[in-house]
């Protein structure tokens, strides 16, 4: 039986007068927390989530977390892009309140504000942040930090520590893993509970596979998504004017490594390779390049080819991340840390693998709005559980604080998912979720939008240089191809959702006026 000692003290019972507690005089040990987050890892590319890629590109180690813990199927992000997701996870506050609303043209994250690592550190946790940070200011609240500058590089990357910047030889996913395991080895001996944020750069664009995965999927053909050739005819202006299609936006050379002119490799990151790494790379890519330019593909055949090339590299990057997760899990097991360590696997947001003809993220549509979340917590989470409750990345900091028995500040805007993890979701759990994306004009030209979702519907408002509302019914249109906002049969739904959206904006202290204050002059 687990006894909450704080509760006994609160109701006025001194623990010392309870004889049954004598055998257990110490506070239950606080769990260690390892938060592993990759960058742009689509749930469609995790075999534990099923789907058509699961047998072709399995992730057996990430799946171990699902097997031993819980797979959460409805984790929604508040603003589907790197830096903002990271700021939300640190602060438990929506972008408009934590101040980090977009990547481009953004001022550095204000590290002086309240974050969950600071609160854990204050409560006696050893804390570390290793890998992609992407918030421009130095990390705060960590006993140890070692980060990539900006997006970082795959091969022979630079790292920044409090001592400055240096270059290391190797592949980024493997280097981050090694650094994390070294830190865990130290943390284990400190006698304190620890919290590690292990943030992989992979599988972010331009999807450069590591030396051990170069050939992994080169001869594999992946199934195409049903909406690869979406023409957006049922959608609005925002979808028709974006710049993130496999067809037009994805570049043959920089993205798909089909370099006809090698001088264009300069400053792409591939030019950081040493001669040995380059020789291994060329031995795989040279034949692909020769074959591609000989084939002279056009039209839909070219789109199909680009999709395959994209997935081959993207999934190879994920294979290295999966191996990394396995190494961490093995380390915990071998060092007798498994039982008292919570391991979380997540991505900063979801990603398109050809759905709607896209790559990248940003939208409130499923593939980028949903992010993978898998958690193992021995003795607390029932192994092999699957959960469908609407949770969000904004819930993570409060969840970590509750796991550690630290008081949750009232100004955080999420809700701890610990009860969900225990299989005891409260009856008043969230049924609606609020979203707001700001990076426009900018890369990929996805218009600014905010909106809300329920289990069945999504209401989205595109603004800034446009004023269009969209409404999707996931029950009749799970692929989100048909905007029914102006369909009279949805008028009462529309009215209801508008009302709920206003309520959510009020609840989260967001408003159209505030959104306008973030517009560029
Ligand atoms: Ca990302």
Per-residue pLDDT for 13 more than 50?
A: no
38 Cα–ligand 1 center, Å? 8
67-117: pLDDT as tens digits: 999 999 999 999 999 999 999 999 999 999 999 999 999 999 999 999 999
pLDDT at 381: 98
What confidence score (pLDDT) does residue 276 get?
98
* Per-residue pLDDT band at 519 (split at 50, 70, 90): confident
| Rounded distance from Cα 513 to ligand 1 centre (Å) | 28
Over residues 306-312, the mean pLDDT reads: 98
Q: What is the pLDDT of residue 520?
A: 77
Average pLDDT for the chain: 95
Ligand 1 centre from 82 Cα, in Å? Answer: 4
Mean pLDDT value across residues 252-256: 97
Model pLDDT, residue 109: 98
pLDDT tens track for 30-68: 999 999 999 999 999 999 999 999 999 999 999 999 999
CB 373 within 8 A of CB 72: yes
70: left (phi over 0), alpha (psi -120 to 50) or beta: beta
Residue 152 has pLDDT above 60, yes or no: yes
3-state secondary structure 390-418: CEEHHHHHHHHHHHCCCCCCCCCCCCCCH
- Give residue 66 CA to ligand 1 midpoint distance, Å: 22
Collect all residues with Cβ–Cβ distance below 8 Å to 133 and sequence separation of at least 6. Answer: 86, 139, 145, 147, 148, 199
Q: For the segment 221-244, what is each residue's pLDDT rounded down to a tens digit?
A: 999 999 999 999 999 999 999 999
Question: What pLDDT score does 28 carry?
Answer: 63
Among the ranges given (147-156, 260-269, 486-495), the one the predictor scored with the smallest mean pLDDT? 260-269
Any idea what DSSP says for residue 275?
H
Residue 206 has pLDDT above 70, yes or no: yes
Q: What is the pLDDT of residue 193?
A: 98
Q: Residue 5: pLDDT above 70?
A: no
Neighbours of 478 (CB within 10 A): 10
Could you give the CA distance from residue 247 to residue 234 in angstroms, rounded to a whole number?
19
Ligand 1 centroid to 73 CA: how many Å? 19
| Closest residue by Cα to residue 95 from 112, 74, 114, 80 | 80
Centroid of ligand 1 to alpha carbon of 347 (angstroms) = 7
Residue 43 Cα to ligand 1 midpoint, Å, equals 13
| pLDDT at 18 > cutoff 60 | no
**Distance of CA 26 from the midpoint of ligand 1 (Å):** 42
Confidence of residue 297 (pLDDT cuts 50, 70, 90): very high
Mean pLDDT of 314-332: 98
What's the Cα-to-Cα distance from 372 to each of 42, 75, 143, rounded to whole Å? 7, 7, 28
Residue 409 is predicted with a pLDDT of 98
How far is the C-alpha of 36 from the C-alpha of 202, rounded, in Å? 12
Strand duo 341-347 + 32-38: pairing: parallel
Q: Looking at the predicted structure, is the pLDDT value of residue 9 above 70? A: no
Q: Is 324 helix (H, G, I), strand (E, B) or coil?
A: helix
Count of alpha carbons within 13 angstroms of residue 358, beta-carbon side: 25
Report CA(81)–ligand 1 centroid distance (Å): 5
Q: Using CA atoms, how far apart are residues 123 and 463, in angstroms rounded to an integer?
A: 43
Give the distance, in angstroms, between the CA of residue 316 and the centroid of all CA atoms in the same chain.
Answer: 18
Q: What is the pLDDT of residue 62?
A: 99
Q: How many CA atoms lie within 13 A of 362 on its CB side?
A: 23
Rounded to the nearest angstrom, the gap between the alpha carbon of residue 327 and the centroid of all alpha carbons in its chain is: 20
Q: 450: CA distance to ligand 1 center in Å?
A: 19
CA of 382 to the centre of ligand 1 (A): 30
Task: Determine how β-strand 70-72 pairs with β-strand 373-376.
Answer: antiparallel
pLDDT for residue 22: 45
Residue 134 pLDDT grade (very low, low, confident, very high; cuts 50, 70, 90) = very high
Question: What secondary structure does DSSP assign to 455-508, as a single string?
Answer: SSEEEEEE-SS--EEEEEETTT-TT-----TT-GGGHHHHHHHHHHHHHHHHHT
3-state helix, strand, coil in the chain (%, to 5): 35, 15, 50
Tell me phi and psi for residue 488, to 5 degrees. Answer: -55, -30
Confidence check: pLDDT of 323 > 90: yes
Centre of ligand 1 to C-alpha 203, Å, is 9
Q: How much is the average pLDDT of 442-465?
A: 98
- Answer yes or no: is pLDDT of 444 > 60: yes
Q: Among 109-123, 257-271, 444-458, 500-514, which is the least confidently predicted range?
A: 257-271
Tokens 């609005």 belong to residue: 236
Say how many Å lie between the CA of residue 201 and the centre of ligand 1.
9
Q: What is the pLDDT of residues 378-424, one digit of tens each?
A: 999 999 999 999 999 999 999 999 999 999 999 999 999 999 999 99
521 falls in which pLDDT band (50, 70, 90)? Answer: low
Residue 15 CA to ligand 1 center (angstroms) comes to: 47
The token pair at 96 is 């408009």
14 pLDDT tier (thresholds 50, 70, 90): very low
Q: Which residues does 409 contact at the CB level (< 8 Å), separation at least 6? A: 92, 114, 119
Residue 194 has pLDDT above 80, yes or no: yes
């Amino acid at each position: 039986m687990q006894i909450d000692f704080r509760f006994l003290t609160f109701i006025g019972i001194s623990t010392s007068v309870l004889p049954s507690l004598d055998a257990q005089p110490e506070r239950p040990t606080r769990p260690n927390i390892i938060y592993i987050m990759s960058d742009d890892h689509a749930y469609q590319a995790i075999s534990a989530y099923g789907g058509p890629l699961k047998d072709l590109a399995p992730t057996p180690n990430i799946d171990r977390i699902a097997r031993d813990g819980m797979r959460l199927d409805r984790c929604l992000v508040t603003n589907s892009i790197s830096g903002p997701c990271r700021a939300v996870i640190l602060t438990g506050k929506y972008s408009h309140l934590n101040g980090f609303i977009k990547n481009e043209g953004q001022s550095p994250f204000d590290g002086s504000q309240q974050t969950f690592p600071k609160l854990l550190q204050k409560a006696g946790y050893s804390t570390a942040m290793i890998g992609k940070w992407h918030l421009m200011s130095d990390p705060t609240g960590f006993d140890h930090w070692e980060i990539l500058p900006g997006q970082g590089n795959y091969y022979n990357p630079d790292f920044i520590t409090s001592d400055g910047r240096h270059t290391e030889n190797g592949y980024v996913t493997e280097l981050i893993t090694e650094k994390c395991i070294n830190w865990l080895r130290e943390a284990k001996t400190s006698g304190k509970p620890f919290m590690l944020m292990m943030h992989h750069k992979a599988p972010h664009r331009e999807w450069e596979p590591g030396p051990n995965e170069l050939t992994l999927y080169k001869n594999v053909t992946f199934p195409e998504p049903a909406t690869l050739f979406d023409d957006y005819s049922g959608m609005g202006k925002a979808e028709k004017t974006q710049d993130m299609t496999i067809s037009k936006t994805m570049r043959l050379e920089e993205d798909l490594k089909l370099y006809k002119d090698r001088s264009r490799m300069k400053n792409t990151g591939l030019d950081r390779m040493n001669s040995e790494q380059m020789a291994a790379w060329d031995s795989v890519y040279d034949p692909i390049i020769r074959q591609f330019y000989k084939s002279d593909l056009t039209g839909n055949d070219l789109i199909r080819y680009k999709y395959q090339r994209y997935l081959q590299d993207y999934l190879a990057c994920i294979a290295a991340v999966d191996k990394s997760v396995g190494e961490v899990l093995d380390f915990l097991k071998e060092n007798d840390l498994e039982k008292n360590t919570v391991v979380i696997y997540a991505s900063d947001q979801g990603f398109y693998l050809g759905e709607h003809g896209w790559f990248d993220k940003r939208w409130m549509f499923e593939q980028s709005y949903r992010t993978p979340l898998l958690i193992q917590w021995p003795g607390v989470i029932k192994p092999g559980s699957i959960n469908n409750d609407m949770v969000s990345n904004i819930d993570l900091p409060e969840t970590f604080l509750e796991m550690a028995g630290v008081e949750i500040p009232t100004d955080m805007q999420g809700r701890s998912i610990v009860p969900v993890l225990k299989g005891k979701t409260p009856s008043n759990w969230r049924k609606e979720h609020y979203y707001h994306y700001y990076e426009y004009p900018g890369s990929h030209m996805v218009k600014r939008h905010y909106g809300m979702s329920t289990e069945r519907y999504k209401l989205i408002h595109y603004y800034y240089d446009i004023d269009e509302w969209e409404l999707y019914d996931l029950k009749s249109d799970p692929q989100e191809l048909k905007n029914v906002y102006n369909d009279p049969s949805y008028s009462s739904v529309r009215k209801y959702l508008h009302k709920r959206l206003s309520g959510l904006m009020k609840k989260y202290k967001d408003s159209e006026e505030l959104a306008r204050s973030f517009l560029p002059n």
